[in-house]
Chains A and B, each alone.
Chain A
Amino acid sequence: MSDTTLRLPRPSLYPERRVPRETPMDFRARSLLSLAAPLGGSRTRALRRIVRLTNAAALPPTVTDDALRTRAADLSLRLRAGPWPPAPALVAESFALVREASARVTGMRHFDVQVMGAAALVRGMVAEMQTGEGKTLTATLAAITAGLAGVPVHLVTSNDYLAARDAEEMGPLYRFFGLTVGAVVEGVKPEERRRAYAADITYCCNKEAAFDYLKDRIHLRERADNLHLRVESLVTDRPRLPLLLHRGLPFAIVDEADSVLIDEARIPLIISRSVPPSPEAEETYRRALHLAQGMQEGRHFKHQKALNRVDLTEDGRSDLAEAVRDWDGSWRVPVIREDLVRKALTALLTLHRGEDYLVREDKIEIVDEYTGRRMPDRSWSEGLHQFVELKEGVPLSSARETLARMTYQRFFRRYRWLSGMTGTARSVTAELQATYGLKVATIPTNRTPQRRIRPARIFADAAARWQAVAQRAAEIHATGAPILIGTRSVEASERAADAMRALGLGFTVLNAEQDAEEASIIARAGQMGAITVATNMAGRGTDIKLGEGVAAMGGLHVLMTERHDSARIDRQLAGRCARQGQPGQVETLLSMQDDLLTQLSTWSPAKLARLGGRARFFDAAQRAIERRHAAMRRELMRVDSQMGDMLAFTGTQE
């Protein structure tokens, strides 16, 4: 922040929204009410008004940069004097300033639809903007307005790369107004994190922000209110405030809101610490393994190979009880001892070295069942991992002990103001309303999209599909148009690569999460003659810029090789082409052996293949999985609220 600007003391040391603890009854009532959310219409009238006001407040290009800054400082004072969100007139004034500055600094002037989207953000809504409408730029309007109003902003992205990229790209614009920008990505040290969070505008990935908050909660477990923190920093020699990473949860603009707020909210966040195994625990594991080795299949236990499952028989139980008769401690509890022995048996019988795991440098490395890749950071459940280590004679690894646990739903609801952007919010309107109280505003497109979507082709088996994908790629490649082949998994990428290698095509593969280098590959994916194979990770947020002359050839071709669990992810992938009024084509090539069908059906893939191609199976399967996921999220919320209610006596919710 420049020296001329006024910096006020923070009224609240750790502002966040106090979400009232809700009973299961409240939860049910809210879910019911939210069903009416999609009926609310697109709520764009108020937003259009802000667009009109912004256009009216447009500044002539003759105004000098310094004059812009002076105006901004003046506006900042007025914004700070009022509440957040500010009055439409102030918002429009701010937007007009930012628009003009952006044109000078980045060369991009916000379109009207972007102004409209930003107005939705300021009002705490989810702006549904078509893919390729420039959400990154849209966010700057709202972020700078908040920054000028003294409200710290978290721009939450779905991955680290996007956080770093956007912070980098938009940094100059923020700095033009004297606002500081920080980015929090994986690997950043706590000191830097603290600094980044202290900036006026912080770009961060949802995971980092949530985990950092959870770490703060461990410190703040009891007595987190403002007064306590203030007094504490005066009277104690070890105040907790400097330990905290965040400075509260004021205003969040969540990019790819459906992915971050909905899709990823299925799994709770857990912070755990490692606890080195105690000698007693090791002795217990050793004894259990020894007991398991002495058991006979059939008499003491049954091994169902197909299910990878071991169950003790009645004889097994009674013999085990007999064997441990004189031992004390947890051995006396049948549930515990039988579980120990069963896990030992599982480790002995169902997990094989070389297939399920490798032993490297005295460590067990799990091999992923589907991809065949090593997963050095993964471990089996408590106990099972230790038994495999004992079996292989390597030192026991540490057990994990939960320190804090939180759901994304709870985290995002703690922001005092929450807003979001996404290309695909339609199908989750009700859930956004129910869970976060977010309303969805549908923003029109700037130019008519020119995306051509060809009907899906469906093949009986996967092999035929990959062949067709390669052939199609060859045909398109012959015209010179760039091709993006979207796959569902790393394994699928490799099969696509094999098929194309067979036809002698040159291509680039992008697997796993993006880093900066891979991002540059993506950026080149729009060049003439480029063929890029990428997992759906590449789907979101990336802007593939078309090379020269490509638009004339029909733009980027997207070949979708599978349908994803959610139709929204499919739409995101399709949204990589035909951005901002450019042409583009989408083709889908499916097979009846795709995961989408096999994971739902009890039929064998071979049997499914005999059904022949039926497009409606895919739609039905996708809907079924979406329903299943929605049910999982509801269940998580329900259990969370129920436990929160029951565990009220522990004082905290994490």
Chain B
Amino acid sequence: MDPSFLSPTWYRVADLQPRLKSHAQIHRMKYRGQTWHVLQDHQSGQFFRVSPAANLMICLMDGRRSVNWLWLHACETYPDDPPTQDETIRLLALLHQADLMHTDLDPDLGELERRSQRNETRAIMSRLRNPLALRFPLFDPDKFLDATFPLLRWLFTPFGMLLWLCLVGSGATLAVMNADVLTADLADRILATQNLLLLALTYPAVKAVHELGHGYATKAAGGEVHEMGIMFLVLMPIPYVDASAASAFASKWQRMLVGSAGILVELALASGAMIFWLYAEPGIARAVAFNVMLIGGVSTLLFNGNPLLRFDGYYVFSDLLEIPNLGPRSNKYLGYLVQSRLFGLRSAQTPVTQRGERGWFAFYAIASFVYRIGITITIALFIASKFFIVGILLALMALANMFVWPVLKGLKFVLTNKALKERRGRAIAWTVVLAALPIGFVTAVPLPYATVVQGVVLPPQVAVVRTEAEGFLTAIAEDRDLRATQPLVALSDPMLGTQEAILTAQLDEMRQRLGAAVVLDQVAAQALRAQIAHLEGALALERRRVATLDVVAPRDGVFLTNIADRHIGRLVPKGSEVGYLVQPGELVVRAVVPQTRIDLVRQRPGAVALRYGSAPAALHHARPLREATESRELPHPALSAAGGGTLQIDPTDPDRRRLLLPAFQIDLAVIDPPKGQRIGETVWVRFDHGTEPLARRFYRAVRQVFLSQFDV
């Protein structure tokens, strides 16, 4: 016989006459049209699916029939899928472990004690193995729930459902309407120290209500709830309720109700809090409401209600699809695909038992993996921004859990699994290929590498046009090509004319008085001459002021000005910038390169390309004018975050001109400037560094992180 069909240890169980204990329960369930028999282990709270043949054997265990008889009978009843002897032994072991079976042997007290000790050790071990989620059962809430459930029964009616819909619907609408108010400065608000404390207090409270939701939903479906306690999830105490009785419900809708009760409760809480938050005065109560919204809304969407993580949403989802154990089986399915398709292992066992599971498995395995990685890395980075070492440790742990262990396990399978014996060569080859692809891509394939920063169009210092006198604006030149000495800006000062007339008149008077006095009185004539000289000087000054009221072009060029016709008539103080007179090609682009990239820009100079904000489609070329210089001065307000740019301004600087992070400024001459470029226009600047594999970049980035964090 097929050696795997028989077991060499069969003789030890063949004559046993097992009897099922009275508290053993097998639940009959429907999954995707198939009947499953699910055995409940009250000791461990686990559920096991048993095959129809195993179900038959269990049902026939009456203490008189021998195991051998049961097995033969099951083989004959299910000839196409007969249970193997090993499977039968495993089933018996399972029943024994779960304390569901008597045998005709006297109870072995030593063995009973060993077993209970082992269960205890296992419980302790499982706690130690998962120190981030310690569970401490506290009490049996069944009586409490029974007593209070009548008060809440109305919630589990169509009316209750309708009420819930109204509440959550209005909450959601309000949230959308007030999205901008809600999300403004979100990170600052959440991570403020006072709020963290408040959050830590609110969280367990919300979760307690959440758990009661599970408990009452179980009651509503007729189940029992016998354990409630505190779980320390990442050291945060959170109440939990053991609603595993729900797994035994025959109706998937009931199971889903219990599973989703927590989500429903939290969403309702969040909606209530939303309404309260809108109409309440600022204060502690409003802050609490904000946190309730945060927990009930965001954490439900991202974590608890999300089917891609193994929380409530996952169980609801797998019940909805009628695919129990969706997560583990999805991963198994991927493993099976690799084994059967790539390694050609014909003995590989597919976890697919029903139609339609294939697609879900493939989708879920990949989607949940990607989501898990994304969310974990995000959390790790979020924490790293506050507590660097903790964040890095968390990230490493997550990487180990998601990549290193699975890879090691896979390697162990490929190298040592017996089933692969004859196909090990092929398996290893495929493994090498699969591993080489991403590794090779990351380490060997050079990819375009460039630094992209923002810059701004600025004139050179010589081009600034200033007024030389104070006056009222009367005319401005068009910003077209101008020749030297052509007027740019015309000013007028009515006081100037009057003053000149007065001075001229006074001068005339003095000159006549001098003519009269020159022969009569030499001394008086001397004094008059001095006055005339003074007046002449004053007049010359006045005349020069009139002459310089109009600003003329100091050279040929294009006059760029922000002054428009509507400014005519305004008083312009002396020495104000009224515009720039620039020659073609004279405008520079000043780019701000963050410190982390300056080394690359300096060491690996390459082509510099520009895209103007006003015409992003066109590509222009530039060359650096001089070495980059370190400066924290913001070259132009357009580059600051407030001005629509990317640079963060040091909030402590009263002038709002100091950059938050050290940066370098580099002036670029545009080789092929576009027509009509404007001063202050933002430009995307791309410094090309040739090509480089990703691994080197990653190394550089990590190196810099460690440099900045540890000075190593």
Contacts and interface: CB of A to CB of B under 8 A. Distances in A.
Nearest to A340: B1
A405 interface: yes
Contact of B93 (A222, A223, A383, A649): A649
A463 interface: no
A393 interface: no
Interface stretch (A205-213, A295-303, A329-337): A329-337
B279 interface: no
A647 interface: yes
Contact of A402 (B8, B76, B82, B103): B8
A317 B13 CA distance: 31
B101 interface: yes
A21 B82 contact: no
B2 A649 contact: no
Interface string A333-347: 111100100000000
B65 interface: no
B82 A335 contact: yes
Contact of A334 (B79, B92, B106): B79
A647 B93 contact: yes
Q: Which of B1, B16, B96 has the most A CB atoms < 10 Å from its CB?
A: B1
A649 B96 contact: yes
A335 B13 contact: no
A651 interface: yes
A223 B76 contact: no
B72 interface: yes
Interface in A567-611: none
B462 interface: no
Nearest to A270: B8
B696 interface: no
A19 interface: no
B76 A329 contact: yes
Q: Which of A334, A405, A646 has the most B CB atoms < 10 Å from its CB?
A: A646
Q: Which of A336, A403, A650, A651 has the most B CB atoms < 10 Å from its CB?
A: A650
Contacts of B82: 333, 335-336
B108 A651 contact: yes
User: Chain B interface residue count: which class?
Assistant: 20 to 34
A647 B89 contact: yes
Contacts of A339: 1-2, 5
A649 B19 CA distance: 13
Contacts of A382: 1
B1 A383 contact: yes
Interface in A239-296: 268
Contacts of B90: 646
Q: Which of B79, B90, B101, B106 has the most A CB atoms < 10 Å from its CB?
A: B79
Interface residues of A, number: 28
Nearest to A382: B1
A643 interface: yes
Contact of A405 (B11, B101, B111, B114): B11
A361 interface: no
A49 B345 CA distance: 61
A581 to B, nearest CB: 48
Contacts of B75: 330, 333, 336
Contact of A223 (B80, B106, B115): B106
B12 interface: yes
B9 interface: yes
Interface string A49-61: 0000000000000
A517 interface: no
B547 interface: no
B105 A403 contact: no
A648 B76 contact: no
B11 A330 contact: no
A295 B210 CA distance: 68
A332 B76 contact: yes
B647 to A, nearest CB: 57
A383 B2 CA distance: 12
Contacts of A648: 93, 96, 111, 114-115
A401 interface: yes
A223 B8 CA distance: 24
A336 B2 CA distance: 9
A647 B76 contact: no
A328 interface: yes
A268 B82 CA distance: 28
Contacts of B72: 330
A643 B9 contact: yes
Given A222-B106, A339-B1, A650 B12 contact: yes
B1 A336 contact: yes
Interface in B109-159: 111, 114-115
B44 to A, nearest CB: 16
Interface string A387-404: 000000000000001111
A651 B105 contact: yes
A650 B14 CA distance: 10
A103 B9 CA distance: 52
A385 to B, nearest CB: 14
Interface string B10-30: 111100100000000000000
A222 B92 CA distance: 19
B9 A405 contact: yes
Interface in B42-82: 72, 75-76, 79-80, 82
B76 A333 contact: yes
A640 to B, nearest CB: 9
Contact of B89 (A328, A333, A401, A646): A646
Contacts of B76: 328-330, 332-333
A646 B1 CA distance: 23
A335 B2 contact: yes
A222 B80 CA distance: 37
Given A222-B105, A330-B76, A401-B11, A335 B5 contact: yes
Contacts of B8: 268, 402, 405
Contacts of A383: 1
Nearest to A644: B9
Contacts of A404: 11
A647 B9 contact: yes
Contacts of A652: 12
Interface in B213-236: none
A403 B11 contact: yes
A328 B73 CA distance: 11
Contacts of A649: 92-93, 96, 101, 103, 105, 111
Nearest to B74: A333
Nearest to B111: A648
A212 B44 CA distance: 41
A336 B115 CA distance: 36
Contacts of B92: 649
Nearest to A23: B118
A459 to B, nearest CB: 33
Nearest to B107: A651
Interface in B389-405: none
Contacts of A222: 105-106, 108
Contacts of B9: 405, 643, 647
B540 to A, nearest CB: 105
B1 A650 contact: no
A130 to B, nearest CB: 38
Contacts of A21: 114
A268 B9 CA distance: 12
Contacts of B106: 222-223
A157 to B, nearest CB: 28
Nearest to B18: A649
B303 to A, nearest CB: 33
Nearest to B9: A643
B117 to A, nearest CB: 11
7 contacts: A222-B108, A334-B79, A334-B80, A335-B2, A647-B89, A648-B111, A652-B12
Given A339-B5, A405-B8, A646-B90, 8 more contacts: A329-B76, A333-B79, A335-B1, A643-B89, A648-B96, A648-B114, A649-B105, A650-B105
Q: Kindly list the 10 A-B residue pairs having the minimum CB-CB distance in the complex, ordered from nearest.
A: A649-B96, A402-B11, A332-B79, A646-B93, A339-B1, A333-B79, A333-B75, A650-B12, A333-B82, A651-B105
